[in-house]
Structure 1
Amino acid sequence: MTSTSPSQSTPANRGVAFQDALQVAAGIAAYSPSSHNCQPWGVGWATGAAARHSAAALLAETAEQNGADYGATQDEVEYLVLALDHERQLTALASHRVEMLVSCGAYGEILLRALAAQGWRADRVHFVAPTPAAHGPKDDDPGRIFGGRWPSAWVPLCVVRLSPAHTPSSDLAELRDTVRARHTNRGPYRPGRIDPAVLAGLSTSRSALSLFRAAPGDSEVTVRHVVADAERAAVAGLVSRHGGRDFSHRAAWRETHSFIRRDDADAESSGDGFTLGQLFGPLSWPRRFGMRIALAPATMRILRHVGYHRILARQLAAMVRRSPAAVALCLDDEAPGAGSVVRGGAVLADYWLGATRAGLVLHPVSVILQHDDVRAELEQRLGLSGRAFFVSRLGRAVTEFPPSRRLTASRVQRLV
């Protein structure tokens, strides 16, 4: 894979101001949520003639279909390509495909917000949905579309056009602080109920800046808060009965465990994953040592025979039951396309930032979405329509959890 990054090799005559804005935006978007903190995204900045031509052609096709007018001239615009990095994605379960696209959508949303806050507005998007050719070279191969500098492990998800705006869209410092404050909190939550007005605001809020807003005919996202005791108990019951699958599924747990870092230094070096402290909160040295042994894949293979995975599931279920609320995000299409799922990730980013501003924290409970039978039961019990793609505990934190480490911008960006 090419290692070229905007900071290493930027054409002297191309978008110097944009380069600076992109570096700042990438530093903020690096703190976007992703499963296991795997950060499966990539961003290509189209600076080469072939890549810019291809990006413009794809966006022109979308504009023509929508009857839109470009406005800005070709010399004023910049193009970014959001991608899924196969080398960083989770693959142990088929459902991880959806989780990876959601993660990429959340990253893309925060990246575009940070650019807009610096005066670079995204005004066009084209979702890429390649169809492999049956024989011979693929006409839609990313290397053919965006040129030879396109990383072979990246699959393009969408092309975005950005134009200079007269004024920044929002306060960059406020956005940076909110994004940095947003992280998963797996500890207990305060028992008091959450103000219904706050929940109502989170259910309906959608950023007017988001380029990933669903167009007419696209799958919409529904936000459903679970606050009634009986409904929370139903969700907790599913977690108790099925939450052990992640621990007992050999390939899934091996993949999960590969993201557990030995200590802060190991996490800092890798730039991804999480430490035991980020999973369980502050731990004494003996307990940290014991947890490291207990969670090792070889140990888990033995302990599952005595029901250890069920004990862990019941512990998580108890936390779900004691939380004041849970939240489910659903796409109204039961079989959404990649573009709809990416948009769903953008809505998730919008929701999580809004929750952070309201003083709330989240702890995703992904295990009840990772198996179709369990997900279907969840949707039936809560009366959800379409496909649930995110479920989480929601509340006010008792204990602060440290943020996890992030990859540098140069590891997720390329010039193409």
Structure 2
Amino acid sequence: MNGPLIPAAPPSPGLGESFPEVLRRATGIAALSPSSHNCQPWALARLESRPARRAAADLLGCPDDGATVYLALAADRRRSLTALPAHTLEMRLSCAAYWRMLCRALAAQGWALVRERPHEAGGAGGDSRLPGGPWPRDWSLLWTAALRRTGEAAESLTALDAAARARRTNRGPYDDGPLAPELLGALARRTPAGGPAIAVRHLTSIHERGVFAELLARHGGIDFSHPAAWRETHSYIRWTPAAVRAHGDGFPVAQLFGPMSARQRLAKRIALAPPVMKVLCRFGYDRSLAGGLAAEVRRTPALVLMHFADDSPGLADAFRGGARIADYWLHAASAGLALHPLSVLVQHDAPRRMLQAQLGLSGRLFFISRVGRPRTAFPPAPRSPGAADHRTV
């Protein structure tokens, strides 16, 4: 007697499809990557012309046999933060997080990396070894890679897409109950990208969170009192829905301060204007804002810190760090957790070194975030119309 018919599992999305369609789907997922100030500084090119393919093949040592696909990732300086020296690393981390999510989405559709290499000069004006060219003058090349079809999905594209859509910054209050050690351990272990060169540490004890909060209260106002840094940060605040739609990036004001009346919004807009902020900081407004954030940190069940073993990380280190951030955040989102990065103490060297000394962290601290179960839902951050686009060279 024949057994029951078992329907075949549906094929994974992307398997067997043309690479342009696979790339379109992958860039749609990667465009949801986190970036500092939500500036979305990445730029992607598919190297398709004969000169571009030949140059990339020579650069990577691959045969140009027609079965290999070549991609190049750059930082677009028009959408990059520049006010502080530390922003060079932050832009690299942001582009690297995008790259990690892109590569995971491609691998989930049966395309794997076979060769890749960094362009170390890419963070400071470009690289003379550009494959193919000519390139947009505002692009700084960071990474070139070769991919080939494997025919097997490395992970579920549906699950990856769901995690990417669930991933968002939530600046609201979190449940103050402790997070399970097993969950935090899994978060640290489920981020294999980076290897021993990158360490992940969670601060969960009242003492450790208190050490961090105290330092944040004392030094967290530096971003408001630093004229160039605050002008740049302020330029990314989107005060109206129309501004959100027009720019597609930055911070919608409601995500920074929650619901406000028209009068409250106007008062906040006046207070945060750079010329007004400069005056208010003389009266301690910057310290007041930092104190409020520190109080929120004390109520947060956990903080995650990531640091390089090397105190002068290069581009390849930054790409491992960005991959670490992306993997951690996606896994946290799948577990129902939210993150709220606290970048100010890694953007300024003096407080960063103090924090590392107090917590016994070696190397270079590059990521700090609140972690917890949010009490209120936050909408997704806006995306620029071109965030999922790529250029063909």
> Bigger shift: 197-206 or 275-284?
275-284
Aligned to 1:81: 72
Q: CA deviation at 1:282?
A: 2.6
Give the distance between the partners of 1:247 and 1:340, measured in 2 at CA.
Answer: 29
Aligned to 1:230: 207
Give the distance between the partners of 2:235 and 2:116, measured in 1 at CA.
Answer: 35
Q: CA deviation at 1:85?
A: 1.2
Q: Deviations over 1:194-233 (max 9, x none)?
A: 00000111112235xx6xx55xxxx711000001111100
**Counterpart residue type for residue 124 of structure 1:** R
Aligned to 1:18: 19
Q: Deviations over 1:358-387 (max 9, x none)?
A: 111111111111111111111111111111
**Counterpart residue type for residue 155 of structure 2:** S
Give the distance between the partners of 1:366 and 1:126, measured in 2 at CA.
Answer: 28
Give 3-state SS (helix, strand or coil) of 1:80's partner: strand
Q: CA deviation at 1:140?
A: 4.7
Give the distance between the partners of 2:388 and 2:137, measured in 1 at CA.
Answer: 15
Q: CA deviation at 1:52?
A: 1.0
Counterpart check, 1:90 vs 2:81: yes
Q: CA deviation at 1:131?
A: 9.2
Task: Summarize the alignment of residues 340-359 of structure 1 with structure 2, pairs less than 5 Å apart.
Answer: 340-359=317-336
Aligned to 2:230: 253
Q: CA deviation at 1:409?
A: 4.1
Q: CA deviation at 1:296?
A: 1.3
Counterpart check, 1:182 vs 2:159: no
Give the distance between the partners of 1:408 and 1:16, measured in 2 at CA.
Answer: 25
Aligned to 2:151: 166
**Alignment partner for residue 368 of structure 1, among 345, 351, 367?**
345
**Counterpart residue type for residue 392 of structure 1:** S
Give the distance between the partners of 2:271 and 2:254, measured in 1 at CA.
Answer: 15
Q: CA deviation at 1:189?
A: 0.8
Task: Summarize the alignment of residues 197-276 of structure 1 with structure 2, pairs less than 5 Å apart.
Answer: 197-207=182-192, 213=194, 220-276=197-253
> Bigger shift: 274-283 or 247-256?
274-283
Give the distance between the partners of 1:381 and 1:151, measured in 2 at CA.
Answer: 44
Aligned to 1:141: 128
Give the distance between the partners of 2:205 and 2:113, measured in 1 at CA.
Answer: 40
Give the distance between the partners of 2:108 and 2:386, measured in 1 at CA.
Answer: 18
Give 3-state SS (helix, strand or coil) of 1:121's partner: strand
TM-score, reference length from structure 1? 0.86
Q: Deviations over 1:179-202 (max 9, x none)?
A: 011111111111100000001111
CA contact (8 A) 1:93 1:252 kept: yes
Aligned-residue Cα RMSD (Å) equals 2.1
Q: Deviations over 1:1-46 (max 9, x none)?
A: xxxxxxxxxxxxxx98111111111111111000100011111110
Give 3-state SS (helix, strand or coil) of 2:366's partner: strand
> Bigger shift: 149-158 or 183-192?
149-158
Give the distance between the partners of 2:145 and 2:197, measured in 1 at CA.
Answer: 20
Give the distance between the partners of 1:165 and 1:391, measured in 2 at CA.
Answer: 36
TM-score, reference length from structure 2? 0.91
CA contact (8 A) 1:26 1:409 kept: no
Give 3-state SS (helix, strand or coil) of 1:391's partner: strand
CA contact (8 A) 2:48 2:392 kept: yes
Give the distance between the partners of 2:214 and 2:372, measured in 1 at CA.
Answer: 19
Give the distance between the partners of 2:266 and 2:244, measured in 1 at CA.
Answer: 17
Give the distance between the partners of 2:339 and 2:373, measured in 1 at CA.
Answer: 9
CA contact (8 A) 1:47 1:415 kept: yes
**Counterpart residue type for residue 67 of structure 2:** E
Aligned to 1:108: 99
Aligned to 1:38: 39
**Counterpart residue type for residue 406 of structure 1:** R
Q: 1:16 to 1:181 in 2, by over 3 A?
A: closer
CA contact (8 A) 1:189 1:323 kept: yes
Aligned to 2:308: 331
Q: CA deviation at 1:74?
A: 2.1
Counterpart check, 1:150 vs 2:135: yes
CA contact (8 A) 2:174 2:300 kept: yes
Give the distance between the partners of 1:139 and 1:224, measured in 2 at CA.
Answer: 34
Aligned to 2:385: 408
Q: 1:408 to 1:21 in 2, by over 3 A?
A: farther
Give the distance between the partners of 1:343 and 1:284, measured in 2 at CA.
Answer: 43
User: Paired residues, what number?
Assistant: 377
CA contact (8 A) 1:250 1:301 kept: yes
Q: 1:79 to 1:245 in 2, by over 3 A?
A: same
CA contact (8 A) 1:278 1:403 kept: no
Q: Deviations over 1:82-123 (max 9, x none)?
A: 111111110111111111111011000001111111221122
CA contact (8 A) 1:39 1:88 kept: yes
Q: 1:302 to 1:192 in 2, by over 3 A?
A: same
Give 3-state SS (helix, strand or coil) of 1:326's partner: strand
Give 3-state SS (helix, strand or coil) of 1:87's partner: helix
CA contact (8 A) 2:29 2:164 kept: yes
Identical residues among aligned pairs (%): 47
